[in-house]
Structure 1
Amino acid sequence: MGLPTVATLAVAASWASLAAWLWLTFAQGMFWRTDVRLPPRTAPARWPSVAIVVPARDEAGVLPLSLPSLIAQDYPGEAEVILVDDGSTDGTGRLALRIAAEQPGLPLTVVSPGDPAPGWTGKLWALRHGIALARTAHPTEPDFLLLTDADIAHEPDSLRELVSAATSAELDLVSQMARLRVAGAWERLVVPAFVYFFAQLYPFRWVNRPGARTAAAAGGCVLLRTGAAVRAGIPDRIRQAVIDDVSLARAVQDSGGRIWLGLAERVDSIRPYPALADLWRMVSRSAYAQLRHQPLLLAGTVAGLTLVYLVPPAALLAGLAAGHPAAAWAGGLAWLLMAGTYLPMLRYYRRSPALAPLLPFTALLYLLMTVGSAVQHYRGRGAAWKGRTYARPSDA
């Protein structure tokens, strides 16, 4: 028996891709649906106290838009904002104090923890300092902690809605995936796909099921019960995590806490990524860490992305050109399912449905970013962000 021909292999790959898309569409937690929003909620009889902890490193460019939205929160209970200035060189801390002095609202405290201790990432070191201060600054520690990034802008009722959801559904962690900025051409092409791929890896419906094994959160907006944080050992238990939001959710879930993740309606990231290089750095800084720095996982990811996203258009075009209708049909149907499942995310981001057929090209960019992340790691540069480079946990 001879070796399979190129045509036979192409047909087999196209049908394998179609099978993968049938599975993803109907058996992967309906990941493509964008209707997972805050659960039904009612106002609690007593509004819990909340400390809003904001880690910030060189964030002077976004604070004038984000920090006022936190200070202006319309929250009926006790609340305060703690901004942790993580070694900024652009006057982040001074700017924060000036903004607070000019705007009435929640009280603001600005602190600086100094350089991270060995074995800590900068953000988690800042969160450790901010959480410790929140728990000890007053006679009683706050009931909840809102961990939110410095580039996240909240509508005035954001905190109230988050707390209502947590108390109504008896949740220990409520996280919303902030709506990211999609102003520029590259942002429109790449950013909705980022959230789409994240939901494919961590289907929100799976995360939100009681007793679920899938755990994830979106680090830009995490409301966490203080008691749950203590039980889970947050943040000490995850001090080396580069992908801290998923690690945080897993730690809370492992300690018996109930978690919830969904898309935001009134929480937005204002950080700009105007050039492809900006988006490239954003993705590649943690892509290989997501694969636990394992070459076999990298190889599997490259193969999987190729089969799922690149084979369908290639099979359609090659099948039509070479006269192989089976490959063309399978590739075309897989590409149609791919584009169809992407449409809800494009609608959520108010983008043109014409971008849906371009998802294979965007996936190719993500594939190259992931490979680039691995190359950076093996060149000794690791996961780099804002002047810091982090080794893999086992090297720390």
Structure 2
Amino acid sequence: MGDTARVSAFAWTAAASLAAWLWLLLCQGFFWRTDVRLPRRAEPGDWPAVCVVVPARDEAEVLPASLPSLLAQDYPGRAEIFLVDDGSTDGTGELARELARAGGLPLTVSSPGEPPPGWTGKLWAVRHGIALARAREPEYLLLTDADIAHAPDSLRQSVAAARTGGFDVVSQMARLRVESLWERLVVPAFVYFFAQLYPFRRIGGKGTRTAAAAGGCVLLRADTAERARIPDAIRHAVIDDVALARAVKGGGGRVWLGLAEGVDSVRPYPRLGDLWRMVSRSAYAQLRHSPLLLAGTVAGLVLVYLVPPAASLLGLVAGDPATALLGGAAWLVMTGTYLPMLRYYGQPLWLAPLLPFTAFLYLLMTVDSAVQHYRGRGAAWKGRTYARPDTIGEEG
């Protein structure tokens, strides 16, 4: 009787996992589809002025592969670049000036000094760059990271989509580098998990509350930024892109987010440790430093991603066809939803059944993020540690 009850419990758990996957498949904004791309719009009759703000801290390694792509933008209107050197020690500012000598869009290199208490370094640099840009009276601001390379028509396409589509924010999820074994295993899943949390279709829809952006490439109306008090209103935010989108949407603005074509991150993450730090530095901040949310996230990851393969194998070993069938069906749905992201990244499709392994890594990274927080290390990035990020709701 005890064995029968135990097997029945395993079967019910597998059934719950399958139900969760069917709900995700059909009711979570079709997050698994990768066809949300920059809208192809007719070009506007007049091209508004744009200022590009690039916060950069110790980026000399990647700048030669990224900055020239901004300098060479084929934009019909007035555009210029403000690179804000955020206390670099590797000659980032000098290298930027040297790269600009080859020609292209005008470049100004400036430094804001160390951020005051209550500010993250990146947002302090963004604030300084926006202040410089406002003197040029631009209609749009392009906030882009120093490791992002843009196709020649990237700015042109973003502005056309924003202007003709009526969006206050147009953000593209840059295509991250996928070359090493660990990048192949972890990077596509990173974007997949992000889309699961913030379905792109819901972000762009009118009247929806879902809000997110991708910090590597954010085109923002200058007047919207001023009304939403960007970046002052989100000055503590470690996950600043999501906070920015929430601030804009909370004020009635429209936000669009999709997968990029022609916007690529050139930053390498060749080792597992590199990727681990990338995820763990902000994972617990995403959970608002809440032990309850952490426990729920761990339980959810186990049920949704780890139960299907475990139930499949357990059912086969224990001779329990119901458990094996339910677990296998959930694993199959999971695998099928991951295939489009692997195709987007040009990766072999046999990686799809390994998603539970990658999810287990993310579970460990999330727990590690919480451990580092309670050890007082918080979110660490390039020599700075942020003990607790702020949220939109905490701003006065």
Query: Aligned match of 1:238 in 234, 239, 253?
Result: 234
Deviation for aligned residue 1:212: 1.1
Name the counterpart of 1:127.
126
Rounded to whole Å, the distance in 1 between the matches of 2:321 and 2:86 is 59
1:86-144 Cα distance to aligned partner (Å, 9 max, x none) = 0001000000000001x1110000000000111000110000000011002x3xx1000
**Counterpart mapping for 1:304-315 below 5 A:** 304-315=300-311
Runs (4+) off by over 6 Å: 1-4
Whether 1:330 aligns to 2:329 is no
1:174-203 Cα distance to aligned partner (Å, 9 max, x none) = 000000000101000000000000000000
**Counterpart mapping for 1:154-233 below 5 A:** 154-233=150-229
What amino acid does structure 2 have at the position aligned with 1:88? S
Q: Secondary structure at the match of 1:5?
A: helix
Name the counterpart of 2:251.
255
Name the counterpart of 1:65.
65
What amino acid does structure 1 have at the position aligned with 2:177? R
Whether 1:289 aligns to 2:289 is no
Deviation for aligned residue 1:6: 2.5
1:281-310 Cα distance to aligned partner (Å, 9 max, x none) = 000000000000000000000000000000
Rounded to whole Å, the distance in 2 between the matches of 1:5 and 1:219 is 50
Name the counterpart of 1:21.
21
RMSD: 1.5
Q: Which runs of 5+ in 2 are unaligned?
A: none
Name the counterpart of 1:41.
41
What amino acid does structure 1 have at the position aligned with 2:123? L
- Alignment CA distance shift 1:247-1:394 (3 Å): closer
Name the counterpart of 2:114.
115
Rounded to whole Å, the distance in 1 between the matches of 2:201 and 2:263 is 20
Name the counterpart of 2:53.
53
Deviation for aligned residue 1:40: 3.2
- Alignment CA distance shift 1:70-1:297 (3 Å): same
1:25-61 Cα distance to aligned partner (Å, 9 max, x none) = 0110000000001123111111000000000000000
Q: Which runs of 5+ in 1 are unaligned?
A: none
Rounded to whole Å, the distance in 1 between the matches of 2:63 and 2:326 is 49
Rounded to whole Å, the distance in 1 between the matches of 2:116 and 2:51 is 24
Whether 1:94 aligns to 2:94 is yes
Rounded to whole Å, the distance in 2 between the matches of 1:349 and 1:394 is 33
Contact 1:40 1:168 in 2 (8 A): no
What amino acid does structure 2 have at the position aligned with 1:13? T
What amino acid does structure 2 have at the position aligned with 1:109? T
TM-score of the superposed pair, with normalisation by structure 1: 0.97
Deviation for aligned residue 1:3: 11
Query: Aligned match of 2:344 in 344, 348, 358?
Result: 348
Number of aligned residues = 392
Rounded to whole Å, the distance in 1 between the matches of 2:107 and 2:262 is 22
Rounded to whole Å, the distance in 2 between the matches of 1:54 and 1:278 is 23
Rounded to whole Å, the distance in 1 between the matches of 2:156 and 2:389 is 37
What amino acid does structure 1 have at the position aligned with 2:100? A
Deviation for aligned residue 1:4: 8.7
1:234-284 Cα distance to aligned partner (Å, 9 max, x none) = 000000000000000000001111110000011000000000000000000
